[in-house]
Amino acid sequence: MISEYTNDDYILDRFMNVKWTEQERNEVLGMPLYDLPYLPLDIKIPDNDLASIVEKIESIDESNFFFYCQANIMPYNSEKLVFYGPDNYKDFWIQTRDALSHEHFRELNDVDNYKWQIEIPEIKDFVSTIPMNELYMVECRNSKIDGKAYVHRDREKMYKGLNNRIFVPLTWDDGNRFAITGLGDIKAEPGRPFVLNGNSWHHGTVNTSGKRRLAIIISSNTHGCDKFDELLKRSYKKFVDVM
């Protein structure tokens, strides 16, 4: 428990509670596709698979979850677990921060030796439906009770615009919020992935639901992948009016 509020708490509270006007939101949503802050994708984990994934993650012993981020207090009450990726999470974190391009990242890390560390067939099936050039990591990014991610932008320079990491909410009880500058709350739907342009847009999250919130983040190289571009364009037509 936090015994007293920090400056970051006040900034997060202010950020989450800004009421963006329709005009401000329309200006953001009128931007070119690849500059948008986020976009829900026109693919979805089937309901039965989603229930099975949640059940399997909940059955994994708490001691397997860890947290690593360079900042000491951000995000707060969060946890990670690697499903697919390298053995060393810290190296991966630092190399994704430092890499200037996907080619540079390949020079820094041994991507060919990444593998499934924890095999959940329904997660593997879903990841296989996402068009991409190369998969880097599939990981849990859970929020524990009272979890929060203070206002920040992501730092990975190799991801440009909407060719960015994919966030998949798995559970989203009332009291969970994920807000972005200029738009406000993301309309999160369990099982529906969205691409987050987190390098360009400030964002923050809170979990006041009283329950753990489960999510997956998929890191991959989608730059110049025609089928991913088609998915983005199809998703834009379907979702831009309801964001």
What residues line the site for Fe ion (CB under 5 A)? 154, 198
- Comparison of 95 and 164: residue with beta carbon closer to Fe ion: 164
- Comparison of 85 and 198: residue with beta carbon closer to Fe ion: 198
Minimum Å distance from CB 15 to Fe ion? 13
Q: In the Cβ-directed half-sphere of 190, how many Cα atoms lie within 13 Å?
A: 17
Q: Which residue's entry shows tokens 């994920």?
A: 178
- Comparison of 15 and 50: residue with beta carbon closer to Fe ion: 15
Minimum Å distance from CB 228 to Fe ion? 21
Minimum Å distance from CB 242 to Fe ion? 23
- Comparison of 50 and 147: residue with beta carbon closer to Fe ion: 147
Minimum Å distance from CB 70 to Fe ion? 13
Minimum Å distance from CB 154 to Fe ion? 4
- Comparison of 122 and 154: residue with beta carbon closer to Fe ion: 154
